[in-house]
């Protein structure tokens, strides 16, 4: 093959570049596609990505092209992120304005010139509205009331005081730290018990983990006053988990009041709408609980003031009534006492006179009794003296007889002791057997071949047992 029959690759690429430039130069196109393989070179301020188109079922890629954005395009992407709250990243379905470019070295690509924020907001809103409609349609405990939603959870009554709280958040959440700090350093000295249940709180594909964490809180059986869901700030995509159908349904049906503080400043998530109470941030959620408790305390203080005022009013009324009754009782008492007082004075005079007469008679009787009493002790003393002399004589006789009886009894004891003494028993033909210097009273501890000592009246015999026979004590040659 001669040189005129082939060209270099660079020549082919130049021809392709000339053809593309002549066809697409100066032209832009609005294209709907998905973002994949995105990366951002911060030092060069360039976005690299791929635009892809998928089949209706989303399982097959039907078209794909490389893309990049720099300069004014990067500023347009920044405006898009600010207006939508959505970070420009993978798996976004976007409407972008592009121009076609071909580079001999890098091939065919498109340059992103602009991105439509309204298109993204519209898609997110459509998805959100579809989920809300499904929640109302498929669950009889969720009802739409105007622009709001009534759920089983929102219809629960908050406890008068919220003290025990379960917090579902990320383990590294700064929002959770803000919530704890606000709760623990409140101005009123309220004390709370806060239990953490950590899980992933971003990414729609982590919804199942979040629902399982709610189930875990329920299965503890702990009587929490409220469940608080917290999350710090982030991009729109970070909050998509809170628009998930399963999380929304679980929160709507949860039997403990749910308070949300997920840091979503742009709008209200589906989880917020299904919960009992939603606040903008974790700090606001803590402030809501503190204000709720403060409201109860102020209500109690108000009742206290009302009770004090009512008590004072009742006391004053009854005091006046009692004062009137006191005056009336005093007046009536004086009138009632006047007549009995006169009768009492007459009775007193009669008692004094009668008492004097009685005392005079008793005095005379007492003098006669005194004379008799002075004579009576002498005769009694003489009688007792005679009795003592007779008792003394009897005591001497009894003492002599008692000592003689005791002496005879003691002599009998001495005779018995001599008869029963070991030496006397030995002298009667009996013997004592010892083994190992211990007296034995039977043969159970003596075996054939063992040495024993036999103590008789006048000697100690040492012997070895040659034979041992049983003896029942019934037949004897003794």
pLDDT digits (tens, 9 = 90+) for 177-226: 999 999 999 999 999 999 999 987 765 567 899 999 999 999 999 999 99
Spatial CB neighbours of 454, under 8 Å, sequence gap ≥ 6: 431, 432, 433, 460, 461, 462, 463
Helices (H) and strands (E) in the chain, counts: 9, 16
Same domain, 79 and 185: no
Q: Has residue 318 got a pLDDT over 90?
A: no
Q: Which residues pair with 108 in a beta bridge?
A: 102
Give 9's Cβ-side CA count (13 Å radius).
5
Binning pLDDT at 50, 70 and 90, where does residue 266 land?
low
What pTM value is reported for the model?
0.51
Q: What is the CATH number of the domain that holds 45?
A: 2.40.50.140
- String of DSSP letters for 147-163: TEEE-TTTTSPPPSS--
Same domain, 100 and 139: no
For 356-404, the pLDDT digits (tens) are 888 888 888 888 887 777 767 777 777 888 888 888 888 888 888 888 8
Same domain, 284 and 157: yes
Mean pLDDT over residues 8-30, rounded?
A: 89
Range of the domain at 150: 125-295
In a domain, residue 336? The reply is no
In a domain, residue 86? The reply is yes
Same domain, 196 and 226: yes
Residue-level pLDDT at 165: 97
Same domain, 109 and 133: no
Q: Has residue 117 got a pLDDT over 70?
A: yes
Binning pLDDT at 50, 70 and 90, where does residue 236 land?
low
Question: What mean pLDDT, rounded, does the chain reach?
Answer: 86
Q: Which residue shows structure tokens 């500023």?
A: 75
Binning pLDDT at 50, 70 and 90, where does residue 283 land?
very high
Among the candidates 271, 295, 319, a domain finishes at 295
Among the candidates 64, 87, 115, a domain finishes at 115
In a domain, residue 407? The reply is no
Q: Has residue 429 got a pLDDT over 80?
A: no
Longest dimension (CA), the chain: 182
Residue-level pLDDT at 360: 85
Same domain, 268 and 134: yes
Number of domains the chain is built from: 3
Among the candidates 115, 138, 153, a domain finishes at 115
Q: Has residue 122 got a pLDDT over 80?
A: no
Residue-level pLDDT at 72: 92
């Amino acid at each position: 093959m001669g040189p005129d029959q082939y060209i270099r690759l660079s020549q082919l690429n130049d021809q392709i570049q000339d053809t593309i430039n002549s066809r697409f130069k100066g032209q832009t196109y609005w294209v709907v596609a998905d973002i994949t393989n995105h990366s951002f070179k911060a030092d060069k301020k360039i976005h690299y990505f791929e635009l892809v188109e998928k089949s209706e079922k989303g399982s097959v890629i039907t078209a794909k092209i490389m893309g990049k954005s720099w300069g004014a395009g990067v500023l347009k992407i920044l405006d898009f992120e600010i207006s939508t709250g959505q970070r420009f990243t993978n798996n976004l379905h976007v409407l972008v304005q592009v121009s076609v470019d071909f580079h001999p070295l890098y091939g065919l690509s498109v340059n992103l010139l602009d991105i439509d924020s309204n298109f993204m907001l519209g898609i997110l809103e459509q998805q959100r509205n579809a989920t809300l409609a499904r929640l109302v349609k498929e669950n009889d405990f969720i009802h739409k009331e105007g622009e709001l939603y009534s759920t089983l959870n929102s219809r629960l009554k908050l406890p008068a005081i919220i003290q025990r709280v379960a917090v579902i958040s990320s383990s590294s959440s700064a929002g959770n730290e803000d919530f704890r700090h606000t709760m623990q350093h409140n101005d009123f000295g309220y004390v709370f018990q806060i239990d953490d249940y950590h899980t992933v709180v971003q990414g729609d594909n982590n919804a199942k983990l979040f629902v399982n964490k709610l189930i875990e809180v329920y299965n503890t059986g702990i009587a929490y006053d409220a469940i608080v869901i917290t999350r710090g700030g982030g991009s729109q995509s970070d909050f998509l988990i809170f628009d998930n159908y399963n999380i929304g349904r679980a929160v709507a049906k949860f039997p403990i009041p749910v308070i949300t503080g997920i840091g979503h400043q742009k709008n209200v998530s589906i989880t917020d709408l299904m919960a009992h109470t939603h606040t903008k941030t974790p700090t606001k959620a803590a402030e809501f609980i503190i204000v709720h408790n403060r409201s109860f305390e102020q209500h109690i203080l108000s009742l206290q003031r009302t009770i004090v005022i009512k008590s004072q009013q009742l006391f004053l009324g009854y005091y006046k009534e009692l004062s009137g009754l006191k005056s009336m009782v005093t007046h009536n008492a004086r009138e009632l006492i006047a007549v009995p007082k006169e009768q009492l004075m007459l009775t007193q005079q009669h008692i004094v006179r009668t008492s004097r007469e009685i005392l005079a008679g008793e005095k005379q009787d007492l003098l006669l009794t005194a004379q008799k009493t002075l004579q009576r002790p002498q005769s009694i003393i003489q009688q007792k003296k005679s009795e003592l002399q007779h008792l003394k004589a009897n005591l001497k006789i009894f003492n002599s007889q008692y000592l003689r009886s005791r002496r005879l009894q003691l002599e009998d004891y001495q005779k018995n002791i001599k008869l029963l003494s070991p030496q006397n028993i030995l002298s009667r033909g009996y013997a004592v057997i010892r083994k190992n210097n211990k007296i034995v009273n039977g043969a159970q501890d003596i075996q054939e071949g063992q040495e024993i000592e036999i103590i008789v009246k006048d000697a100690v015999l040492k012997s070895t047992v040659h034979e041992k026979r049983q003896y029942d004590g019934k037949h004897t040659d003794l």
